Structure 1
Amino acid sequence: MRIMGRRRALVGVLAGSLLLAGCNAGPGQVGAAVIVDGKTVSVDRVQQLIDKAVREHPYGQQLASEHKLDLVGREIVRQEVLHDLTERAARREGVQVDESLVVNALQNDPLAKPMEANPQNDPAISVQQLVARVRDHRESLVDAAVQTQLAMKYLDKLTVTFDFSSISSTDATGSDADKLREQAIEKAKRFAASPTAAAEVIEQDKTAPGTKVDVGLKLPAIQSPGIASTVLFGIQPNTVTAFQPSPEQPVWVIAVVRERAADKPVATDQATQPSAQQLAGVGIRLLQPYLDQVDLKVNPRYGVWDVVGMDLAPNESSKKGIVLPVHGAAPQNP
């Protein structure tokens, strides 16, 4: 399947995709915001970028007045981690960005305009856009282009086969939301207890009112680009995850991946044309396996790394879900 003209897609990413869209500190981490395989980004550097956001961007000033600059700090650390993973993926996959496209994009720099207060986007996306502007613009644009190239390379090849159950509620707010999360994580731990545990739990769930289950479900990424950006497509076989596909819906999915393939195009008559934002999300998700190859240390002042969200959570209890290996199952290579 031809997803889209590659050069046209990359021009779009370079020109505007960004507009669309741990451990305790030890002696080696004094003064470090994050360390990735020995490469350090200092607390001072993060603070400099936060100061730049407030100094140059009305949206940064708005966040400062709302006492939300911690969001900016976490996003700076997140983008630094993703930058490292993106460079690793580019080397391994042989992905390069056409230099002429970079030059053209920088001549009409989409990140040059100050970000106004009260943006219309989702707050998380708005903070991402703000941080992209205070980072080195070339680096931000190239990272986005590489991530999109990765998505285009694998979107029509990537498939996961999994068994799943679900948990839902009539209310997605407050204590009900917290309880739902706890129930989902507890079920994920039951799934991961042994190689046969998930099948046993799913069999019991078949008769539970309002619970959806399936076994051996094969889902191509190209059939559902939105789901392809979730943790389900980033984990290896014999791994369990619990996550909430949509924050707006009070439904959690608990799944164990049985197979993951990305070696040949998938024949399907249900292909969906991905948006630029979906391609960006899939590209970031394809960086997830590289986390197993690096020694990542995040200063607790910025939170903890959340593999489900591929971002930073303020603390363990606010992570967007959980990922667990199946106990007793044969290890799988990425």
Structure 2
Amino acid sequence: MRIMGRPRALVAVVAGALLLAGCGSGPSQVGSAVIVGDRSVSLDQVQSMIDQALREHPYAQKLAAEHKLDVLGREIVRQAVLHELTLRAAKQENLGADQAKVAGLAAQLTPAPVTDTKQGDQVAVTQIVSKLRDRNEVASDVLLEQDLARKVLPKLSVGADYVGISATGDNDRAARTRAFGLAKEFADDPAKIQGVVQQAQQEGQQAQQTGAPGPGGYSAGQAAELFGAAQYPGLAQTALFGSDKNSVVVFQAQKPQSADWFVFVIRARGTDKAVPADQEAQKPTDAQLTAIGTRLLQPYLGQSGLRINPRYGVWDLVGMNLVPNSDATQGVVLPIRGAATAQQ
């Protein structure tokens, strides 16, 4: 695979993107909210945490008044899933959190009630659930995810073809639908990929000159691009770096710089050697390391036997998140038909 200079516009618009449909018909065990491996969280446990949140956090009371406690329930299940995946990854990678660091970070997690953060429901419920959990467990998860990122990031690379699909705004449903449809076409008939990528590349070059997408609606395109995670820690937080080879990955670019959708066809994924690059590796922040560590939990989902009670929604593989239904997912990951089995 040839190594090319990254189109800076692509990296700029895609690098911050974060957050497949559901994970089956739900747990078979009656009374389970979620099952991960040999561990289950019961409906009663989730309800108990919701009841505690209502007693201790004004923002939870606000959600109840707005009939939105389902948001809180999903976050409880989401954090339970990520905790179990973190333990799996740490065991496989022989990672252990420094207990002194765990204690130090746990001490910073104050039990102060969450009121109105002015940052939206997701930020608030994330804080609430973190405060409901054991502080040492929360701190350990963060440090293990950061250590996972530090270990994997320097030698993680992905080779991919991609096309960009022009979108008129954040909520351009037509562009989303087209991106999902194109991903399915690529997955079902890989012979179509080369021609579409070539067309997208030509239209992308025209778009740079004219400022408008081409007649096919493409804003960018490239074949055989090699991305090094260490050079682009923002992009390393996306499903591009969490998915296996022979996968088609779709997600929206970074907003507000761009709302375009991108379809990647992953040709190779390497974890054993540094990538020759035209740009120096960047030093990620702690927040970026945590986000990258969360993304690197994605490959462990397939071996976890994850089953979520449908009342809490479906797992969004691209967002590493729990969402109400498949229409709310931030993207999709599909295996290419006839290729070696891709991680789901």
When normalised by structure 1's length, the TM-score is 0.86
Displacement of 1:231 in angstroms is 0.4
Residue 192 (structure 1) aligned with residue 202 (structure 2): no
Q: Deviations over 1:296-322 (max 9, x none)?
A: 110011000111111111011111111
Corresponding residue number in structure 1 for 2:3: none
Give the conservation status (yes or no) of the 8 Å contact 2:299–2:343: no
Q: Which residue of 2 aligns with 1:307?
A: 317
Q: In structure 2, the residue corresponding to 1:119 is in which secondary structure?
A: coil
Give the distance between the partners of 2:59 and 2:263, measured in 1 at CA.
Answer: 37
Amino acid at match of 1:264: K
* Distance in structure 1 (CA, Å) of the matches to 2:199 and 2:263: 14
1:263 pairs with 2:272: yes
- State the Cα distance separating 1:110 from its structure 2 match: 2.3
Q: Which moved more, 1:143-152 or 1:120-129?
A: 120-129
SS in 1 for 2:249: strand
CA distance 1:65–1:104, shift in 2 (3 Å):
same
Equivalent in the alignment of 2:130: 132
Tell me which amino acid in the other structure corresponds to 2:264.
A
CA contact (8 A) 2:179 2:261 kept: yes
SS in 1 for 2:195: helix
Report the counterpart of residue 110 of structure 1 in structure 2: 108
2-structure distance, mates of 1:76, 1:247: 27
Shift of 1:93: 0.4
Q: Which of residues 151, 175, 179 is equivalent to 2:174?
A: 179
Q: Residues 247, 130 of structure 1: CA spacing in aligned structure 2 closer, same or farther, 3 A cutoff?
A: farther
1:273 shift after superposition: 2.2
Matched, 1:56 2:56: yes
Between stretches 200-209 and 45-54, larger displacement belongs to 200-209
Q: Aligned in 2, Cα 1:237/1:129: closer, same or farther, shift over 3 Å?
A: same
Rounded to whole Å, the distance in 1 between the matches of 2:196 and 2:44 is 49
Give, in whole Å, the separation in 1 of the partners of 2:159 and 2:104.
Answer: 41
- Give the equivalent residue in structure 1 for 2:226: 218
Q: Distance in 1 between matches of 2:201 and 2:221?
A: 6
Shift of 1:61: 2.3
SS of the equivalent of 2:234 reads: helix
Give the aligned length: 307
CA distance in 2: counterparts of 1:332 and 1:25, whole angstroms:
22
Cα distance in 2 between the residues matched to 1:120 and 1:286: 30
**TM-score between both structures, scaled by the size of structure 2:** 0.84
- Matches of 2:309 and 2:286 in 1, distance apart? 32
Match of 2:97 in 1: 97
Note the 1:1-334 alignment, pairs <5 A.
Answer: 22-25=23-26, 28-106=28-106, 109-121=107-119, 123-173=121-171, 177-208=172-203, 209=214, 210-248=218-256, 249-268=258-277, 269-331=279-341
Residue 121 of structure 1: how far off its partner (Å): 3.9
Q: Secondary structure at the match of 1:29?
A: coil
Consecutive unaligned residues of structure 2, counting only runs of 5 or more, are 1-22, 204-213
Please say which of residues 69-78 and 97-106 is displaced more in the overlay: 97-106
CA RMSD of aligned residues (A): 2.0
Query: In structure 1, what is the Cα distance between the partners aligned to 2:163 and 2:290?
Result: 28
In 2: Cα distance, 1:181 partner to 1:88 partner: 33
* CA distance 1:226–1:128, change in 2 (3 Å): same
What's 1:9 paired with?
none
SS at match of 1:88: helix
Are the counterparts in 2 of residues 23 and 299 from structure 1 also a CA contact under 8 Å?
no
Q: Which amino acid aligns with 2:275?
A: V
Structure 1 residues 59, 324: CA separation in 2 closer, same or farther (over 3 Å shift)?
A: same
Q: Is the 8 A contact 1:34 1:296 kept in 2?
A: yes
CA distance in 2, matches of 1:126, 1:151: 25
Are 1:188 and 1:254, in contact at CA under 8 Å, matched by a contact in 2? yes
Percent identity reads 42
3-state SS of the aligned residue for 1:213? Answer: strand
Return the offset for 1:120.
4.4
In structure 1, distance between residues paired with 2:113 and 2:287 = 19
